[in-house]
Structure 1
């Protein structure tokens, strides 16, 4: 399976602004199959508790070379900091997740059926591979390694359809603000 490529189109301290842009992007996308994936770097018990209330069956593992994971049946609060992930969630969980995340670095990725045709850049309808939008909160990168006090919105495309990213940005009145990078997973 190939990775998607992502390009940032918005950096803001205003989560409501980012959510408005995401809604605009989803309105032009084929969302017949829409779900969200979530990942966070969790360092505090209050954040962990809030997230686990929403994502009780989330996968997690201790960061670095330390042991501890959900796969081993360990208690996550004894292994902080951890990486926490959950897949294929309903979109209505996003707002509670962002609230529970607080200041922790996290990423919410909307996964859907495809991007629309982009005839002015010579692209037909895009399929589900590469059809994502990711909001990274409290970090600048998709790996959540570069902490920040703002949030970054990325559009994902197939590498061979790189022209789709600036086209998508233009559809919501924005432009790309960084390089196209291979997305994790």
Structure 2
């Protein structure tokens, strides 16, 4: 499986602004197969508790020097910091996730069928590989290694269709604000 490439198009102090832009992007995407993936970097029991309630079967693994994981049946609170992940969820989980991660670096990725044709960029319809939008909450990067007080929106494209990212940004009245980077799985 190959990775997508992502480029940031917005940094916003307010989640509402970021969600508005994501909504505009989803309006132009083929969302007939829309689902949401989630990842968070959890450092405290207080941050872990609401996510454990919301996503009781989420996968997790120790992000520090420990080796604990959900695969081993360990208690995540005993292995902080941890990375919590959940895949292929319905889009209506987004609002509860955002309420649960206040102050915690997290990423919500909308996966869908494809991007529209971009004739000005010389591109046909994009397929599902590389058709994502990610909101990094309280983080500046997709790996969640750069904590922030603001939120970053990334558009994902195929590496061979890199010109689609600035085209998508322009469709929602923005421009790219950083480099195209390989997205983590």
TM over 0.5, shorter chain: yes
- The answer on 1:127 being equivalent to 2:127 is yes
- 1:37-96: CA deviation from partner (whole Å, max 9, x where unpaired): 000001121221101111111000111231211000001111111000000011000011
Show the counterpart of 1:20: 20
- The answer on 1:158 being equivalent to 2:158 is yes
Counterparts of 2:46 and 2:146 in 1: how far apart (Å)?
A: 22
Show the counterpart of 1:95: 95
Q: TM-score of the superposition, structure 1-length normalised? A: 0.99
- The answer on 1:77 being equivalent to 2:70 is no
Counterparts of 2:11 and 2:5 in 1: how far apart (Å)?
A: 18
Counterparts of 1:64 and 1:142 in 2: how far apart (Å)?
A: 18
Unaligned runs of 5+ in 2: none
Show the counterpart of 2:111: 111
Q: Please, what is the CA RMSD of the aligned residues?
A: 0.6
Q: TM-score of the superposition, structure 2-length normalised? A: 0.99
Counterparts of 2:63 and 2:159 in 1: how far apart (Å)?
A: 30
With 121-130 and 48-57 compared, the bigger mean Cα shift is at 48-57
- Cα deviation for residue 112 of structure 1 reads 0.2
Counterparts of 1:27 and 1:89 in 2: how far apart (Å)?
A: 19
**Is the CA contact 2:64–2:80 (under 8 Å) kept in the aligned structure 1?**
no
Counterparts of 2:52 and 2:109 in 1: how far apart (Å)?
A: 18
Task: Give matches, 1:159-178, under 5 Å.
Answer: 159-178=159-178
SS of 2:31's equivalent in the other structure is coil
Counterparts of 1:54 and 1:123 in 2: how far apart (Å)?
A: 40
- Cα deviation for residue 140 of structure 1 reads 0.6
- 1:14-45: CA deviation from partner (whole Å, max 9, x where unpaired): 10000000000000000000000000001121
SS of 2:104's equivalent in the other structure is coil
Counterparts of 2:103 and 2:64 in 1: how far apart (Å)?
A: 21
- The answer on 1:10 being equivalent to 2:10 is yes
Show the counterpart of 1:38: 38
- The answer on 1:143 being equivalent to 2:132 is no
Show the counterpart of 1:68: 68
SS of 2:39's equivalent in the other structure is strand
SS of 2:149's equivalent in the other structure is strand
